[in-house]
Structure formats: structure tokens, C-alpha cells
Amino acid sequence: MGMTEILISLHLLGGLDDDTGKKPSKTALANVFQQAFGFSFNSLSDCQRELFKRKPYNLTKTLDALKAVLLKEYKKRQAENDRKNKDEKR
């Protein structure tokens, strides 16, 4: 379900273009995901339907987890940079 969440979000965002400069269909985007990550959606329509059946607080579980891990890494790197700057000033 996580890949469905990412795919649908990217499609709705509309920031992707195909080789001709047009917006790719969900099916075309799904094919790229399946080839790149080695899995099958089986039925993209069913996956999308299940995604939107989620309660609002569960709608973006995967995206929330991605955001959390990026923020954690950002804070870790900021702390490392702060330590380096303090050591250089000594």
C-alpha cells in the first residue's frame, strides 16, 4: 500500500513529465514503479480504492514515515555540524 500512496501522490502532484513532455497516466507511472522496484500492483484501481478507504489520519502513513526519517537525519547532521563548528572554534 505504501507504493500506491507514493505513486498516487506523485500523480496528483503533477510534477512529472514523460519523454514527450506530457503528464504520464497512472498506469504508465505504475509500470515504471513496478519495473524500477521489482513488484506488481496487480490491480492499481483496487489499490487506489483501498488507499482512499483509509481513515484520514491513516491516509499518508508511508509519506509520514518518509518525512519523519528525513527530519531525523537532518537533525542528526545539524548536530554533527554544530559539534564540528564548536571544535573548530577551540
**pTM reported for the whole predicted model:** 0.74
What is the C-alpha separation between 79 and 6, in angstroms, rounded?
30
**Lookup: cell for 64:** 509520514
- CA dihedral sign, ordered 43, 48, 54, 59: positive
DSSP at 14:
T
Please provide the size of the chain in residues.
Answer: 90
Residue 58: predicted pLDDT: 86
Q: Is the pLDDT of residue 90 over 80?
A: no
pLDDT averaged over the chain? 92
pLDDT tier at 89 (50, 70, 90 boundaries)?
Answer: confident
- Burial of residue 5 (CB within 10 Å: 0-12, 13-18, 19+) is buried
